[in-house]
């Protein structure tokens, strides 16, 4: 039997963690998993020590406000690692928590196989040495990450991007001319994101409705967010629709997409969009001084040029976003499709990310 302690702190990590757990069981049928994850990981057999909602928080100020809760969970995880025997600790992204826990796991002799590298190349080069001391092997999703992390003597392996493990991302997307006249609105899944973004999206939609009366407006919904959104839009003159993120990404004509993994998902599914983000003043001020890259949207970072318009903080206003959408409607969508194919080629790896990671982990443990 192989026992793994595995930690994911958000919905994306939950999805990728579940795929990895499934791949590990295919290679080694007798696996047990304990740690932190969401419903998808629990479905694959995770024994969760806390609900993932406890961990799902972004922004420096927002994390600070919940510091005592997160610290208590960290101590609980340390106790489990130190009092039970685990063959490996598998942190999945979520660096603020996972690097600390990985450091502890390594100190007590538990192998650390980090999946989805912290984006230290964007905001935390000073933490790279700490990461180097905390991991045995690092699995990365972007080819350029190998060069970055290897300079810190970290064993780094590009495994491909897990989104391309799913057919809807690897296959060709619906051409723009066949998409619905629908503007997809992605406010985010966390409470503080919805609070920041809903007023902005509602105001932007109001401006666009005057210019695009033949278009509809749809919010990406999750079970945990629909009620919050419905409450805020009940007095709006616009008849907003709701649909799943995936449906909107594959069928809508234009999107307003908050920063994060959604920017890459939407791009790979062929949705033309404008990226935006607003956060608290404190979080923005801190992150502005830490981030060293010229881009924030993942497609822009991958190709190192602007192929997606970015609007952050004071630049994310209803007027600016509405004008960006109107401009985007007149874009050459064949150029966008060409860039999409380039990104897919860069992120592809034979066998798929989850299978590649599982194979490396099982091989690593077989040598122990």
Give mean pLDDT, residues 177-198: 88
Span 68-93, mean pLDDT? 94
Q: What is the rounded average pLDDT for all residues in the chain?
A: 89
CATH architecture of 2-160+349-366: 3-Layer(aba) Sandwich (3.40)
What is the rounded distance in angstroms from the CA atom of residue 329 to the CA atom of residue 173? Answer: 18
Report the distance separating Cα 234 and Cα 240, nearest Å. Answer: 9
CB half-sphere exposure, 318, CA atoms < 13 A: 13
**CA 208 from centre of chain:** 28
Name residue 158's beta-bridge partners. 140
Q: Is the pLDDT of residue 361 over 90?
A: yes
Closest by CA to 74, choosing from 62, 61, 91, 59, is 91
**What pLDDT, in 10s, does the model give residues 150-181?**
999 999 999 999 999 999 998 899 999 999 99
Backbone angles phi, psi at 48, to 5 degrees: -85, 135
SS3 340: helix
Q: Which helix (H) or strand (E) holds 158?
A: strand 156-158
Helices (H), 304-347: 318-328, 333-347
Give the separation between CA 138 and CA 323, rounded to whole angstroms.
Answer: 42
One CATH from 3.30.450.40, 3.30.420.40, 3.90.320.10, 3.40.50.2000 for 170-347: 3.40.50.2000
> CB under 8 Å to 18, separation ≥6 — which residues?
37, 40, 41, 43, 44
Task: Give 174's DSSP letter.
Answer: P
User: Rg for the chain (alpha carbons), in Å?
Assistant: 21
pLDDT value at residue 126: 74
309, 274 Cβ separation under 8 angstroms: yes
Does residue 139 sit in helix, strand or coil? strand
Percent of the residues in the chain that have a pLDDT greater than 70, as a whole number: 90
Distances (CA, A) of 132 to 7, 32, 105, 334, 363: 19, 27, 13, 42, 21
**Which carries the bigger pLDDT value, residue 227 or residue 157?**
157
Strand order in the sheet with 31-36: 46-48, 31-36, 2-8, 88-92, 113-115, 137-140, 156-158
Residue 116 backbone class (left: φ over 0; alpha: ψ -120 to 50; beta: rest) = left
Question: What per-residue confidence (pLDDT) applies to 364?
Answer: 92
The domain segmentation of the chain, as residue ranges, is: 2-160+349-366, 170-347
Which of 20-24, 38-42, 292-296, 345-349 is predicted least confidently? 292-296
Mean pLDDT of 56-68: 59
Domains 2-160+349-366 and 170-347 share a fold: yes
Instruction: Name the band, by pLDDT with cuts 50, 70 and 90, for residue 295.
Output: confident
Core vs surface per residue 93-126: b (16+ CB within 10 A) or e: bbbbbbbbbbebbbeeebbbbbbbbbbbbbbbee
- Average pLDDT of 328-339? 91
The DSSP-derived string for 12-67 is HHHHHHHHHHHHHHHH-S-EEEEEE--HHHHHTTEEESS-GGGT---SHHHHHHTH
Burial of 364 (0-12, 13-18, 19+ CB in 10 A): middle
Q: With bands split at pLDDT 50, 70 and 90, how would you rate the model's confidence at 63?
A: low
Which band of pLDDT confidence, cut at 50, 70 and 90, is reported for residue 61?
very low
Secondary structure (3-state) at 188 = coil
**What is the pTM (predicted TM-score) of this model?**
0.86
Mean pLDDT of 248-259: 96
3: its two tokens:
């026992």
Stretch 122-151: mean pLDDT: 89
Residue 256 has what pLDDT? 98
Q: How far apart are CA 203 and CA 201, in angstroms?
A: 5
């Amino acid at each position: 039997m192989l026992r793994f302690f595995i930690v994911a702190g958000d919905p994306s990590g939950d999805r990728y963690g579940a795929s990895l757990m499934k791949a590990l069981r295919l290679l080694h049928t007798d696996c047990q998993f304990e740690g932190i994850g969401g419903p998808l990981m629990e479905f694959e057999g995770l024994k969760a020590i806390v609900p993932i909602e406890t961990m799902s928080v972004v922004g420096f100020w927002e994390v600070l406000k919940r510091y005592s809760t997160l610290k208590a969970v960290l101590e609980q995880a340390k106790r489990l690692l130190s009092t039970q025997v685990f063959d490996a600790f598998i942190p999945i992204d979520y660096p603020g928590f996972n690097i600390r826990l990985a450091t502890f796991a390594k100190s007590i002799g538990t192998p650390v196989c980090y999946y989805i590298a912290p984006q230290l190349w964007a905001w935390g080069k000073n933490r790279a040495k700490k990461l180097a001391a905390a991991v045995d092997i690092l699995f990365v999703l972007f080819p350029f990450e190998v060069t970055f992390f290897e300079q810190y003597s970290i064993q780094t392996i590009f495994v491909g991007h897990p989104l391309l493990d799913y057919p809807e991302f690897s296959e060709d997307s619906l051409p723009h001319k066949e998409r619905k006249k629908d503007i997809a609105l992605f406010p985010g899944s966390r409470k503080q994101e919805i609070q920041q973004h809903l007023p902005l999206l509602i105001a932007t939609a109001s401006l666009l409705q005057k210019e695009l009366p033949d278009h509809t407006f749809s919010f990406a919904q999750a079970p945990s967010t629909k009620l919050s959104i419905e409450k805020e839009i009940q007095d709006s003159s616009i008849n907003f629709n709701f649909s799943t993120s995936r449906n909107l990404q594959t069928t809508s004509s234009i999107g307003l997409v908050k920063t994060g993994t959604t920017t890459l998902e939407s791009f790979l599914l062929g949705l033309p969009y404008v990226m935006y983000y607003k956060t608290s003043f404190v979080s923005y001020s801190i992150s502005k001084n830490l981030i060293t890259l010229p881009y924030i949207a993942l497609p822009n970072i991958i190709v190192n040029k602007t192929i997606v318009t970015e609007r952050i903080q004071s630049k994310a206003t209803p007027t600016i976003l509405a004008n960006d959408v109107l401009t985007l409607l007149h874009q050459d969508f064949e150029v966008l499709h060409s860039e999409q194919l380039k990104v897919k080629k860069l992120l592809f790896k034979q066998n798929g990310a989850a299978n590649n990671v599982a194979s490396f982990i099982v091989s690593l443990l077989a040598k122990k």
